[in-house]
Amino acid sequence: MSERLIVIGGGGAGTAAATIAKRVNPDLTVTLFTEFPDIAYSPCGIPFVHGREIPKFEDLFLSTVERYIEDGLDMRMETTVTDIDMDRGTITARNTHEGFDKLVVCTGFTWEKPDVEGANLEGLHYVKDIRAAMLFDEQLDGMKRVAVIGATPLGVEMAGNLGHRGLQVDFVDEGPWVLSEVLDPDVAAPVHDSLEKRGVTLRLGTRLEGFAGTDGRVRTVATSAGELPCDAVIVCLHKLPNSALAEAAGVKTGTTGGIVVDDHMRTSLPDVWAAGDVVEVPHGLSMIPIRGLTGSHAYAQGRTAAFNAAGRDNAYDPVWVPWGMVAGDYTIGGFSLGETLATAMGVPYVVAKGVGVSRARYYPGATRTHVKLLAEPGTLRLIGGQIHGGEGVKERADFLAFAAKRGATLEDIAWMENIYSPPIGALFEPMAIAAQAGLEDVRRSQAVGAA
């Protein structure tokens, strides 16, 4: 009789785990449980459909349930797993016990709810499920003014897109600039300008104090700076790991609340793996566990769990977290640490800054690319960076994260080879310009020190 693998969760990690495990070991019986009616769509695309950048929600679907069934998966849609019994090797769903030999937990995250009065009113919307998003989108047609709470990456995307749609948007956050937990303050001005051009009113340094409404529906947001009338509120606070089910079964969780896994995505219990937003994985520089990363991290972790659950040997590296996004119309990105996070952690660094262009200067469409690199004093190995401007932010962030992971230094980047082709690349690579300037600063400060 073949072994049975049960995967709990139908997001990026769960879908990857189930499909890849079946592909790697076709003898496995693979069952996937998800509480939702849909699978294989991109929730990250939802803000852009609201903003009318993408025509319709259907465009976000990548596959169908039927396709997974054709591939040999046992799909249990709209079926919530309520218990894991490790002694018996069973899970419980719809009051029925089902046995497993191996288990992959990919239960994802839930959004942090604001701990203020009125948080249960109707009209508070959380961006996650595509069907809820479709209904909300219809309601948006009749709305004029919305409040977005939390200048997180999702908050920035929702605020910018709803502004683009023509809604009046109040964007509320306690921080002194948007994305202040990720982005350095030297990038605040262009990001703020771009959001404001889209009709977003920034309410920064402002605390959310509560919601008030009539007939059970939210009508105003109370803040430390006064009341804001609204037709709806989009809550974009932090992601919290959905680890209660696994924790109740005895799976160890860590300092972030996420499930503790090793580099094979194994949990503390035998034959149980976990992946995606529910786990914590170490940062490559500090080895401090972090969580709540990107969809591509979730997919790669699900893939690793699948290989190992299917009998192969596959390790996942500590992460250097390349990230990027469009804030309003302005592209920002980076990897690992920015100055703000390095300062908060107390990690010593030297800074290398430079500005270049994305194409030949004379070629139409060229944009300025700002690069800031952080390096370890002494060895000058890269430890982080931020890039902003127009084109090529994502590719540079990906490259730099990989280079840092392999120990590249400012000198390596300063002398790197680069493509020069007028429509796609300038003679001088912006990353190299930044690294050269940084090396010059280091030499100067060493000369001053020696004198």
Partner 1 sequence: MTALDRMKRNLRDRSEHYLMLAAIRDLGAGKPGTVAPFDDRSGLLWRTMFVPLYRRLPWPLKRRAMETLRMTATGWQPPERRAHEPWRPPPPEP
Q: Which residues are catalytic?
A: 44
Query: Long-range pairs for 342-350 at CB < 8 Å and ≥24 separation?
Result: 342/374, 342/383, 342/384, 345/286, 347/285, 347/286, 347/383, 348/376, 348/377, 349/374, 349/375, 349/376, 349/377, 349/383, 349/384, 350/374, 350/375, 350/376, 350/377, 350/380, 350/438, 350/441, 350/442
**Which of 345, 418, 444, 445 is the binder for partner 1 (CB under 8 A)?**
345
**CA distance linking residue 121 with residue 172, whole number of Å:** 18
By rule CB under 8 A, what count of residues binds partner 1? 60
Q: How far is CA 238 from CA 21, 123, 203, in A?
A: 31, 19, 18
With respect to partner 1, which residue has the nearer C-beta, 74 or 173? 173
Rule CB under 8 A: say whether 380 interacts with partner 1: yes
189 counts as binding partner 1 under rule CB under 8 A: yes
Does 117 interact with partner 1 (rule: CB under 8 A)? no
Question: What is d(CA 155, CA 149) in angstroms, rounded to the nearest whole number?
Answer: 7
CA-to-CA separations, 219 to 145, 147, 224, 273, in angstroms, rounded: 10, 10, 17, 44
Q: Which stretch binds partner 1 (CB under 8 A): 3-11, 149-157, 321-329, 377-385?
A: 377-385
- x/- letters, 295..324, toward partner 1 (CB under 8 A): --------------------x-xx------
- Tell me: does residue 193 bind partner 1 (CB under 8 A): yes
Sheet strand arrangement including 217-223: 208-214, 217-223, 226-229
d(CA 279, CA 253): 8
Nearer to partner 1, 69 or 189 (CB): 189
- The residues in 392-411 that bind partner 1, with binding defined as CB under 8 A, are 404-409, 411
Judged by CB, which is closer to partner 1: 6, or 179?
179
State yes or no: residue 166 binds partner 1 (CB under 8 A): no
Give the start-end residues of each E strand in 14-108.
29-33, 74-76, 81-85, 90-93, 96-99, 102-105
Work out whether 139 is an interface residue with partner 1 (CB under 8 A).
no
Q: Should residue 412 be labelled a site residue for partner 1 when binding is judged by CB under 8 A?
A: yes
Minimum distance of partner 1 from residue 283's CB (angstroms): 9
The torsion angles phi and psi of 135, rounded to 5 degrees, stand at -65, -45
Binding residues among 201-230 for partner 1 as defined by CB under 8 A: 204-207, 224
- Return the number of the residue (186 or 441) whose C-beta is nearest partner 1: 186
Would you say 169 or 191 has its CB closer to partner 1? 191
Interface residue list for partner 1 (CB under 8 A): 174-177, 180-181, 184-186, 188-189, 191-193, 204-207, 224, 247, 253, 255-257, 260-263, 266, 280-282, 284, 286-289, 315, 317-318, 339-341, 343-348, 379-381, 404-409, 411-412
